[in-house]
Structure 1
Amino acid sequence: MSINVPEKFLKEEYKKLTNKTLNTPDFQQYKSIVTDNYKRSDDRTEYHLKEGLTEQVSTKLDFIFKRISISSKEIKEPQFENLEEIAKYFRILLDEERKKYILLFAYNGTGKTRLSAEFKTLGQTLNEETGEKTADTLYYNAFTEDLFYWDNDLENDTDRFLKLNSGSRFFSGLKELEMESRIRPFLHRYADFDFTIDYDEYKINFYKNVTIDGTSQRIDNIKVSRGEENIFVWCFFLAIMQLVVDKEESYSWVKYIYIDDPISSLDDNNVIAVASHLANLMSDADIKVIISSHHTLFYNVLCNEIKNPERLFFQRVTSNGLYMLKDTSNTPFFYHVALLKELKKVADSGEIYSYHFNILRNVLEKTAAFHGYQHFSSCLRIDNDDDFVVHKRMVNIMSHGNYSVFEPTPLADDNKEYFRNILDNFLEDYKFNQRIFDKEQVQEDD
């Protein structure tokens, strides 16, 4: 990590830094580190960095000034020269600040997948005596999907199966852990096909049970679609992530989990179930997790369902190739506004699914918390007791359950009407700028 620590501050700059910026709750812990390592000049007009600082102190100061820059609304200069620097910054953020979750939003082409690879590489070590390579990061990205590849039986076109890369640590203890029984509950949340694993040959066969003329039949060796394959790989990863959460010995080496764009191949209408499920799994995990995505709705749901994440917008400056991170905690484009836009859009179109009640409940809960209430129902209109009871029950019932990502079921007409009434009442009672629903807003890209 290249060190970029200011050599000096003017008196006014230094006072603003120490008396204002470093007095905020987010940075107060760093104040003594800064004040201990700068000294006032003889003429009392400047403060200079002390000489002979250790590498450890210099690295800490560099991290502090990057943290301040990322959180500032005024500073817009790039903070990082390359992806390795960002990966190192994330490790300090997770370890020394004891952050548990980092959520990263970035447009395609910025370098999200390469950043996840850099983070993973930093945790790898090679034992020169044994030649054994150790790691500390379980990751999901495009490289993970490449661990699975098809043998389509081109000669006979009948025995089609998905091969596993047997040399990858991703598949540690595959047979002993009975992965079929661990993957299947995840898969059946999302899909209607099934599978078997040949643990000796490291291959997977897919099948589907269908009803023909009233009789149930099993169709073997099917070739699942690309989308179904991706959701299977995702469920395979979730099963392994559950093993990490459960502290299974085979995955005791995992210190971090890094997930990059797990829903890239799914339809926009289906990301809610995946994001909600992931957030629920993470909430029980005693593990540090980074998730990056280019998908606005997926990112929004995670931000609303995960407790106290570090929320960052990742950019690359095209003019010089340098990188920036920006704190998005107070950016209106994200979170409740984006979710409300999604709800209004589906309410107007009539394409309302059960999982849209999940989003509605999230917005109600966040609004209730903001106004100091303990329950989302405090934000439901209560001028009619009967309607209030029904609306509260509808939000409770419809915001729980498992939803197929391939065959989402629209709500019945009466439930759609309940949804519209709850949303319309909320938008009337809590005034938002109508312009956010009238046109698309574009994320500022400095």
Structure 2
Amino acid sequence: MSAKSTINTYTSLLTLARKLRSDLAGVELILLYAYNRTGKTRLSMEFKGEGKRKTKKNPTGSADTLYFNAYTEDLFTWDNDLENDSARGLRINQASRFFDGFKNEPLEPTIDQYLRRYADFDFDFTFEEVQQGNESFSRPVFVKFSKGDESQIKISRGEQNIFIWCVFMAICEQLLKYPEAYSAVKHVYIDDPISSLDDNNAIAVACDLAQLLRRTASRKDQNGAPAPIKVVFSSHHALFFNVMCNEIGRAKEGEPKVAHKRYFLHNPNGEGAYMLRATEDTPFFHHVASLAELQMAATLGTGKLYTFHFNALRSIMEKTASFFGHSDISFCLKALNNEDNLALYNRALNLLSHGKYAIHEPTEMGEDNKELFRRILEDFTTAFKFDLPDIVGAPMPAANPAASPAATS
């Protein structure tokens, strides 16, 4: 299950951002997978900053990138109204031009259209009139939420994030509807839009985003001439990335094919060089990427293993068995060439992967189960020859062959 591809190294995020811009001269979309703490958000800002540099093509230094990342989410700040305990909602940062999209037409219907797909609460903007040069328009300053008969309710962090994402999607719709109003925008950069979302919503958001990106790739200007918006999408969420690859790569009747590239971004030491690897081995790429994450978590001395990692390992083994046409993980276990521990591994994966483990409040494994996890993972990756070392940057630490801990809950 090995798939070799070229790996290029970049000395800084700026040189990497320039590489992505160069790629977009020949394709409409770049899909970028990277782990957390790789530098994805900083890369998006370098990409945006490069588009504001004064050049012969851009003598005024006008921004050419609409972006969504952690900084976008920071434009919205939750206010609990501690004084009166009633006017709860999100305050909107007025220093950003992100909200200029509201001056073409009301965005609420489009925001609501997207929000209905993922949530069941309502929203209401408060506006103020602002002056921009010789032009004035209403800009949102606050948004409150309600549900049924309850007004000004407190919504969860995940609900906040999905609402902000729906605002961004509505602004993207403006790019398509009013190309002349956004003539300076040549690129859209989207980094990790689905923090705090469950898998069902992650899949729904990915499908909707892929559909929107197909439309940006085939956008035309007011005269009917091709005017595609070039897009970079990056994520650490393996499932989200995989769905995006499938949706973009799938041929759809009556729709043009989206020319795109897929990359795995790795920063082996957390600093210094950045490694960019082209990958076309989807739809199973995200399983390999997830295995690489598990391998890092299992590394002695530097990694941390939590109870939910057994769930992740079992899920990957199930997908691997399915890939080879088998219905359950017994196929993978029999292939491990470890008859002595077959029953132990099977019991551990059945028992330890079905607890209600919260990823946001993780519980670290006990030492016995850590050792058992390392043994199963090492045997699995060895038996199926996954191509991981050049991605992870460190070999899987060998488990103690003499140890034989019992699986405990």
TM-score class normalised by the smaller sequence: 0.5 to 0.7
Q: CA deviation at 1:266?
A: 1.1
- Which of structures 1 and 2 has the bigger CA Rg? 1
Report whether the alignment pairs 1:283 with 2:214: yes
Summarize deviations over 1:245-290 as a string: whole Å, max 9, x none: 2234443321111011111221234311111111111111131111
CA distance in 1, matches of 2:283, 2:322: 21
Secondary structure at the aligned position of 1:162 is classed as strand
Change (3 A) 1:173 1:324: closer
Amino acid at match of 1:300: N
1:327 aligns with 2:287: no
What is the DSSP-based 3-state SS (H/G/I as helix, E as strand, rest coil) of the residue aligned with 1:284?
A: helix
1:134 is the counterpart of 2:62: yes
Corresponding residue to 2:244 among 281, 302, 319: 302
Pick the aligned partner of 2:151 from 220, 228, 242: 220
Structure 2 contact 268–392 (Cα < 8 Å) conserved: no
Q: Tell me the residue number matched to 2:325.
A: 427
User: Which of the numbers 385, 392, 405 marks the counterpart of 1:445?
Assistant: 392
Is residue 108 of structure 2 the alignment partner of residue 185 of structure 1?
Answer: no
Q: Using the TM superposition, give the Cα deviation of residue 204 of structure 1 relative to its aligned residue in structure 2, in angstroms.
A: 3.3
Q: CA 1:144/1:287 → structure 2, altered by over 3 Å: closer, same or farther?
A: same
Q: Which amino acid aligns with 1:327?
A: A
Which residue identity lines up with residue 90 of structure 1 in the other structure?
L
Give the direction of change, closer, same or farther, for the CA distance of 1:257–1:324 in structure 2 (3 Å limit): same
- Residues 90 and 225 of structure 1: is their aligned pair in 2 closer, same or farther, counting only changes over 3 Å? same
Match of 1:81 in 2: 11
Instruction: Quickly say closer, same or farther: Cα 1:434–1:256, change in 2 above 3 A.
Output: farther
- Residue 207 of structure 1, aligned match among 129, 145, 170: 145
> TM-score, length-normalised on structure 2?
0.61
State the one-letter code of the partner of 1:114. R
SS in 1 for 2:86: coil
Equivalent in 245, 264, 273 of residue 313 of structure 1? 264
CA distance in 2, matches of 1:320, 1:275: 30
Gaps spanning 5+ residues in structure 1: where? 1-71, 211-216, 349-359, 361-422
Shift in Å at residue 74 of structure 1? 7.3
- For residue 174 of structure 1, give the secondary structure of its aligned residue in structure 2: helix
Q: Could you list the per-position Cα deviations for residues 20-63 of structure 1 after superposition, in whole angstroms to 9, with x for gaps in the alignment? A: xxxxxxxxxxxxxxxxxxxxxxxxxxxxxxxxxxxxxxxxxxxx
| Greater fraction of residues in helix | 1
For residues 267 and 54 of structure 2, the distance between their equivalents in structure 1, rounded to whole angstroms, comes to 32
Q: Residues 133 and 159 of structure 1: is their aligned pair in 2 closer, same or farther, counting only changes over 3 Å?
A: farther
Which residue of 1 is the match for residue 24 of structure 2? Answer: 94
Amino acid at match of 2:9: Q
Contact 1:192-1:208 within 8 A present in 2 as well? no
Q: Is the 8 A contact 2:245 2:282 kept in 1?
A: no
TM-score (norm 1): 0.56
Contact 2:51–2:61 (8 Å) recurs in 1? no
Q: Which amino acid aligns with 2:82?
A: L
Please state whether the residue corresponding to 2:19 is helix, strand or coil.
Answer: helix
Aligned pairs for 1:196-275 within 5 A: 196-200=124-128, 202-210=140-148, 217=149, 219-275=150-206
State the secondary structure of the residue aligned to 1:231: helix
- Whichever residue aligns with residue 294 of structure 1, its letter is H
8 Å contact from structure 2 (residues 30, 262) kept in 1: yes
The alpha-carbon distance between structure 1 residues 332 and 225, as it changes in their structure 2 partners (threshold 3 A), is closer
What amino acid sits opposite 1:206 in the alignment?
K
Distance 2:266 2:230 in 1: 23
Structure 1 residues 424 and 299: alpha-carbon distance in aligned structure 2, compared to 1, 3 A threshold: closer
Query: In the alignment, residue 392 of structure 2 is paired with which amino acid?
Result: D
Q: Which whole-Å CA distance do the structure 1 matches of 2:234 and 2:213 have between them?
A: 15
Instruction: Answer yes or no: is 1:161 the counterpart of 2:89.
Output: yes
Give the % identical residues: 46
Residue 176 of structure 1 and its aligned partner are, at CA, apart by: 4.0
- What's the offset of the Cα at 1:75? 6.0
Q: Aligned partners of 2:76, 2:188: CA distance in 1, in Å?
A: 19
Of 216, 235, 247, which aligns to 1:293? 235
**Counterpart-to-counterpart distance in 2, 1:110 and 1:273:** 26
Q: Distance in 2 between matches of 1:148 and 1:252?
A: 26
The whole-number CA distance in structure 2 between the counterparts of 1:135 and 1:111 is: 22
- Separation in structure 2 between the aligned mates of residue 94 and residue 293 of structure 1, nearest angstrom: 18
| Alpha-carbon distance change, 181 to 133 in structure 1, aligned in 2, over 3 angstroms | farther
One-letter amino acid of the counterpart of residue 144, structure 2: F
The Cα RMSD (Å) is: 3.8
What's 2:51 paired with?
123
Given the alignment, which residue of 96, 106, 118 partners 2:34?
106
> What is the DSSP-based 3-state SS (H/G/I as helix, E as strand, rest coil) of the residue aligned with 1:153?
coil
d(CA) in 2 for partners of 1:91, 1:183: 30
Shift of 1:297: 0.7
Give, as a single letter, the amino acid of the residue that structure 1 aligns with 2:77. Y
Q: 1:270 to 1:88 in 2, by over 3 A?
A: same
Cα distance in 1 for partners of 2:241, 2:53 equals 32
Contact 1:113–1:141 (CA under 8 A) maintained in structure 2 = yes
The amino acid of 1:288's aligned partner reads: K
AA of the residue aligned to 2:112: R
Deviation at 1:152, TM superposition (A): 2.3
| Higher RCO (CA-CA < 8 Å; seq separation 6+) | 2
Instruction: For 1:239 and 1:165, locate their aligned partners in 2 and report how far apart those are by CA, in whole Å.
Output: 18
Q: Give the partner amino acid of 1:102.
A: I
Q: Quick check: 2:238–2:286 contact (8 Å CA) kept in 1? A: no
